[in-house]
Amino acid sequence: MTQGALDTSIEFLKGVGPKKAELLNKELGIFTFRDLLMHFPFRYVDKTQFHHIRDLREDSGTVQLKGILRRLNIVGDGRKKRLSGRLRDETGYIDLVWFTGIHWLEKQLSIGSEYVVYGRVSAFRNQLNIAHPEMEQLNPENIKKASSFAPVYPSTDKLNTKGLEAKARRKIMQALFEKITAADLPDNLPAYLIQKFRFPSRHKALRQIHFPRSQEELTQARNRLKFEELFFLQLRLLQIRKRRKDAIKGWNFEKIGDFFNTFFKKKLPFELTTAQKRVLKEIRRDLGSAIQMNRLLQGDVGSGKTIVGLMSMLMALDNNFQACLMAPTEILAQQHFQSISEYCEGLDINVGFLSGSVKGKKRKAVLEGVENGSIHILIGTHALIEPSVVFKNLGLAITDEQHRFGVAQRAKLWAKNTPYPPHVLVMTATPIPRTLAMTLYGDLDVSVIDELPPGRKAIQTMHKTENHRMRVIGFMREEIAKGRQVYIVYPLIEESEKLDLQNLQDGYESISREFPPPNYQISIVHGRMKAGDKDFEMQRFVNHETQIMIATTVIEVGVNVPNASVMVIENTERFGLSQLHQLRGRVGRGADQSYCILMSSFKLSKEGKERIQTMVRTNNGFEIAEADLKLRGPGNMEGTQQSGILNFRIADLSKDGKILKLAREIAARILENDQKLEKAEHQAIRWYLEKHGKKLKAWSRIS
Cβ atoms of residues 200 and 208 within 8 Å: yes
**CATH number of domain containing 69:** 2.40.50.140
Residues in the chain, total: 703
CA–CA separation, 282 and 679 (whole Å): 33
| 316 and 420 inside one domain | yes
Mean pLDDT over residues 27-52, rounded? Answer: 89
Asked if residue 608 has pLDDT above 80, the reply is yes
Please give the pLDDT value at position 45.
79
Phi, psi of 114 (to 5 degrees): -95, 135
Whether residue 391 is contained in a domain is answered as: yes
Show which of 618, 648, 674 is a domain's final residue.
618
- Report the pLDDT value the prediction gives residue 34, as an integer from 0 to 100: 92
Q: Is the pLDDT of residue 699 over 60?
A: no
Region 468-497 average pLDDT: 87
Q: What is the mean pLDDT of residues 373-380?
A: 97
- Residue 450: pLDDT over 80: yes
pLDDT digits (tens, 9 = 90+) for 42-65: 888 777 788 999 999 988 888 899
C-alpha to C-alpha distance for 188 and 611, rounded to whole angstroms: 41
- Dihedral of alpha carbons 35, 37, 43, 47, sign: positive
Task: Lowest mean pLDDT of 411-415, 436-440, 676-680, name the range.
Answer: 436-440
Pair (558, 482) in one structural domain:
yes
Domain of 605? 460-618
Q: What is the SS3 string spanning 590-620?
A: CCCCCEEEEEECCCCCHHHHHHHHHHHHCCC
Q: How far apart are the first and last CA of the chain?
A: 41
Is pLDDT above 50 for 127? yes
Q: Which of 63-67, 191-195, 329-333: highest mean pLDDT?
A: 191-195
604 assigned to some structural domain = yes
526 in a domain, yes or no? yes
Q: In this model, does residue 683 exceed pLDDT 80?
A: yes
Q: How far apart are CA 599 and CA 467, in angstroms?
A: 10
**Range 313-318 average pLDDT:** 97
pLDDT of residue 317: 97
pLDDT at position 497, please?
65
Distance of CA 163 to the CA centre of its chain: 35
Whole-angstrom Cα distance, residue 375 to residue 365?
10
Q: Which residues pair with 645 in a beta bridge?
A: none
Q: Answer yes or no: do 326 and 413 share one domain.
A: yes
DSSP 267: I
Q: What per-residue confidence (pLDDT) applies to 628? A: 79
Residue 510, in any domain of the structure: yes
Say whether pLDDT at 384 is over 90: yes
pLDDT at residue number 452: 77
Average pLDDT over residues 133-160: 76
- The DSSP H or E segment spanning 662 is helix 657-673
Average pLDDT in the 418-437 region? 83
pLDDT of residue 565: 92
Quote the DSSP letter at residue 543: T
Q: Is residue 518's pLDDT more than 60?
A: yes
User: Exposed e or buried b for every residue in 609-619, given b needs 16+ CB within 10 A?
Assistant: eebbebbeeeb
- Sequence letter at residue 369: G
Q: Which residue has the higher pLDDT, 594 or 408?
A: 594
CATH, residue 366: 3.40.50.300
C-alpha–C-alpha distance, residues 625 and 558, integer Å: 19
| Partner residues linked to 290 by β-bridges | none
Asked if pLDDT for residue 74 goes beyond 60, the answer is: yes
Is the pLDDT reported for residue 447 higher than 50?
Answer: yes
Per-residue DSSP letter, 697: -
Q: Please check the confidence at residue 329 and state whether its pLDDT lies above 50.
A: yes
Are 473 and 605 in the same domain? Answer: yes
pLDDT of residue 644: 43
The whole-number pLDDT of residue 207 equals 94
Do 268 and 120 fall within a single domain? Answer: no
pLDDT for residue 558 is more than 70 = no
- Please list, in sequence order, all residues whose beta carbon lies within 8 angstroms of the beta carbon of residue 407, skipping any fewer than 6 positions away: 700, 701, 702, 703
Tell whether 90 and 1 lie within a shared domain.
Answer: no
Whole-angstrom distance, CA of residue 548 vs CA of residue 81: 64
Q: Give me the mean pLDDT over the 647-665 stretch.
A: 85
Quick one: average pLDDT of 216-227?
Answer: 95
User: Residue 665 falls within a domain, yes or no?
Assistant: no
Q: What is the 3-state secondary structure (H, E, C) of 105-164?
A: HHHHCCCCCEEEEEEEEEEECCEEEEECCEEEECCHHHHHHCCEEEEECCCCHHHHHCCC
Asked whether residue 70 falls in the same domain as residue 96, the answer is yes
Last residue of a domain, one of 98, 130, 146: 146
Residue pair 124/104 in contact (Cβ under 8 Å)? The answer is no
| Rounded distance between C-alpha atoms, residue 317 and residue 251, angstroms | 13
Say if 402 falls within a structural domain.
yes
Structure confidence at residue 405 (pLDDT): 62
Residues 10 and 31 sit within 8 Å (Cβ to Cβ): yes
Q: How confident is the model over 468-478, as a mean pLDDT?
A: 95
Phi-psi region of 25 (alpha: psi -120 to 50; beta: other; left: phi over 0): alpha
pLDDT of residue 595: 95
pLDDT above 60: residue 590: yes
Q: Range with the lowest mean pLDDT among 401-410, 526-535, 539-548?
A: 401-410
The string of DSSP codes covering 209-262 is HHS-SSHHHHHHHHHHHHHHHHHHHHHHHHHHHHHHHHH-B--------HHHHH
Do residues 414 and 499 share a domain?
no
Q: Is the pLDDT of residue 164 over 50?
A: yes
Same-domain status, 325 and 376: yes
Q: Examine the domain organization and report whether 41 and 71 are in the same domain.
A: no
Does the pLDDT of residue 702 top 70, yes or no? no
H-run or E-run covering 364: helix 360-372
- pLDDT given for residue 493 in this prediction: 53
In 3-state terms, what secondary structure has residue 452? coil
pLDDT for 151 beyond 80: yes
pLDDT > 90 in the chain, percent: 50
- Provide the 8-state DSSP code for 345: T
Give me the pLDDT at residue 640, please: 42
506 confidence band (pLDDT: 50, 70, 90): confident
Among residues 88, 116, 146, which one ends one of the domains? Answer: 146
Round to whole Å and give the CA distance between 702 and 425. Answer: 10
Q: So what's the pLDDT on residue 141?
A: 65
- Residue 563: Cβ within 10 Å count: 15
DSSP per-residue codes, 370-384: HHHT---EEEESGGG
407-425 tens-digit pLDDT: 566 677 778 888 899 999 9
Residue 378 has pLDDT above 90, yes or no: yes
Name the pTM for this structure: 0.69
CA nearest to 632, candidates 614, 659, 658: 614
Highest-scoring range by mean pLDDT, 249-263, 441-455, 615-629: 249-263
**Cα–Cα distance between 609 and 615 in angstroms, integer?**
10
pLDDT exceeds 50 at position 641: no
Confidence of residue 264 (pLDDT cuts 50, 70, 90): very high
Rounded to 5 degrees, φ, ψ at 461 are -110, 130
Neighbours of 115 (CB within 10 A): 22
Output the average pLDDT for the chain.
86
pLDDT score recorded for residue 370: 96
Q: Which residues make beta-bridge pairs with 488?
A: 550, 568
Residue 694 lies in a domain: no
Residue 685 within any structural domain of the chain: no
In terms of domains, do 32 and 63 share one? Answer: no
Q: How far is it, in rounded angstroms, from Cα 61 to Cα 121?
A: 6
Residue 638 has pLDDT above 60, yes or no: no
Q: Which of 471-480, 503-512, 690-699 has the lowest mean pLDDT?
A: 690-699
pLDDT attached to residue 632: 65
Q: What pLDDT is stored for residue 353 in this prediction?
A: 97
Mean pLDDT confidence for 425-436: 78
Domain co-membership, 1 together with 68: no
Considering its fold, how many domains does the chain have in total? Answer: 4
